[in-house]
Amino acid sequence: MQSITQILTKEHTQCDQLFVDLEAHVAKTQWEKVQPGLVQFLAGMEHHFAEEEKILFPLFEERTGQKMGPTQVMRMEHMQMRQLFQQMRISVEQQNHEQFLGESETLLMLMRQHNAKEEQILYPMLEQVFSGEVDDLLVQMRTLPAEG
């Protein structure tokens, strides 16, 4: 059985690889590959955020009573990333690779810090709180409908 930490860390790695591929296409101005790459990257990120924001964070907050704790910080960082996503979409529409790469550099720093906090602090906390319920949570996470 895999843990929440293992599953979500694997998702971080998958999204990171999509991001690396996207940046490479932008750097080479391969615009025909950029749009599909951006769509795939953003879909992966939004699904990951939804697993946390719709399933894990609310349940964690309910169980622990910590509504202004680590989950709130993670939500704020998700919001910051979503703002960068929007700016990146505009850069792609305008085919402005310099602007995109500047925004992606900011996003990369934010994602690295965010993922480290989740993987080293929050996910182990989730493992403790949800001990014995991991399989049920993973089913909910896997069956979460895709956002349109």
Please give the average per-residue pLDDT across 61-76, as a whole number: 92
Topology adopted by domain 4-142: Four Helix Bundle (Hemerythrin (Met), subunit A) (1.20.120)
The whole-model pTM stands at 0.92
Whether 37 shows a pLDDT value over 70: the answer reads: yes
Q: What is the DSSP string of 90-119?
A: HHHHTT-HHHHHHHHHHHHHHHHHHHHHII
Q: What DSSP element (H or E) covers 146?
A: none
Whether 1 shows a pLDDT value over 80: the answer reads: no
Q: What is the DSSP string of 47-101?
A: HHHHIIIIIIHHHHHHHH--SSSHHHHHHHHHHHHHHHHHHHHHHHHTT-HHHHH
Whether 19 shows a pLDDT value over 90: the answer reads: yes
Per-residue pLDDT at 133 = 86
Whether 148 shows a pLDDT value over 60: the answer reads: no
Please give the average per-residue pLDDT across 36-45, as a whole number: 97
Tokens encoding 2: 């895999």
Tokens encoding 32: 């025909």
Could you report the per-residue pLDDT of 74-117, keeping only the tens digit for each? 999 999 999 999 999 999 999 999 999 999 999 999 999 999 99
Would you list the domain boundaries of the chain?
4-142
